[in-house]
Amino acid sequence: MILADVPSSPAAQLKQQKRPCCSFNGCVHLCKKLQVVTGDSGFNVRLCNGTDMLLEPGMSNPTILINKVTQQLGHPTQSLIGWLVKEFLVNKNWIVEVKAANLAQIQPNNTVLEVGFGPGLGLQEALQYLTGSNGKLYGLDYSEYMHKTATRRLQDQITSGKVQLILGSVEDIPLPDSSVDRVFHCNCYYFWPDLKKGSAELLRVMKPEALMVTTLRLNTVKTGVSFGLLRGKMWQPEYYMDALQATGFRDVRMEEMEDKGFKFNAIFATASK
Ligand SMILES: C[S@@+](CC[C@H](N)C(=O)[O-])C[C@H]1O[C@@H](n2cnc3c(N)ncnc32)[C@H](O)[C@@H]1O
């Protein structure tokens, strides 16, 4: 299986300039192609020199592998599959992530929150619009591994106080009521344990009329689901949109969008209080 062909991300281009190969176990050219192939003893990652590396010993059962990948997408940990998920997010998912920040209409002095920031590429994008001295960016994610990764990416802005990363869940956000102007998230709501609880908590921290944007590639998600990914998760946009409406958001709508030939979906919602 070769995962979707997406243009190299700025991060991958930089990595290629600095270091021709990825550092993990030799040189897996994930920045170009993520190839997972079936081998004699299970699933392998194909290295750029043509040899195969066993993904995880004893993991020859596709259902176990797919469940592990789902688990790691929802809560990446420092592990081989967690690392592969992180590389996938940086190199293959970056456009959808960046688009979420891009569509949130962030103003220079806004207070902005990203839920489930993963490796932190959307946070980096959001910072470009937060040019005012009062502009503040919060990131919330419950993965310690993603915290470490995003902290490395945004160290200077964290040190200056412009960015604050919070280790926590969408169901319990340590921010005051009506304090946030913009919220964005990407490929995240599928993993929330309770969509209504998460939506209600986001509504609580958002100012009246604040905008929330989420992005996804619905067709890619559906393909993943057909392979068994996201089993038992509420990935269907209708569930998320119903939860938003039920908790008090208005103008909830999903749009199909395209940017330079790249197709994706964006869900918009406005806090009504
Ligand atoms: C599939 S990853 C997407 C990461 C990033 N948005 C991207 O697209 O590159 C999902 C992220 O959401 C985080 N996440 C999932 N459920 C969460 C929750 N209930 N509260 C906070 N973060 C959550 C995970 O830890 C993970 O970093």
Distances (CA, A) of 119 to 6, 89, 165, 249, 259: 17, 7, 12, 28, 22
Tell me the per-residue pLDDT of 187-210, one tens digit each, with 9 for 90 and over: 999 999 999 999 999 999 999 999
List every span in the chain annotated with CATH 3.40.50.150: 94-271
Smallest CA-to-CA distance from 113 within 199, 185, 187, 171 is with 185
33 or 76, which is more confident: 76
Q: Residue 66 — pLDDT band, cuts 50, 70, 90? A: confident
Average pLDDT over residues 48-53: 62
Cα 79 to averaged position of ligand 1 atoms, centre (Å) = 16
Residue partners of 188: CB distance under 8 A and separation at least 6:
115, 116, 170, 214
Residue 4 has a pLDDT of 40
Residue 206's pLDDT is 98
Q: Which amino acid makes up residue 250?
A: R
Tens-digit pLDDT profile for residues 171-185: 999 999 999 999 999
Atom 9, ligand 1: which residue's CA is nearest?
89
Identify the residue whose C-alpha is closest to ligand 1 atom 14: 116
pLDDT (0 to 100) of residue 174: 98
Which residue did the predictor score with more confidence, 94 or 32? 94
Q: Residue 107 — very low, low, confident or very high, per pLDDT cuts 50/70/90?
A: very high
pLDDT of res. 16: 46
User: Per-residue pLDDT averaged across 85-112, rounded?
Assistant: 95
**Is residue 42 within 8 Å of 56, Cβ to Cβ?**
yes
Residue from 81, 188, 240 whose mutation best tests the ligand 1 pocket (most atoms within 8 A of CB): 188
What is the token pair recorded at 14? 């930089």
Give me the CATH code for the 94-271 domain, please: 3.40.50.150
* Residue 63 binned pLDDT confidence (cut-offs 50, 70, 90): confident
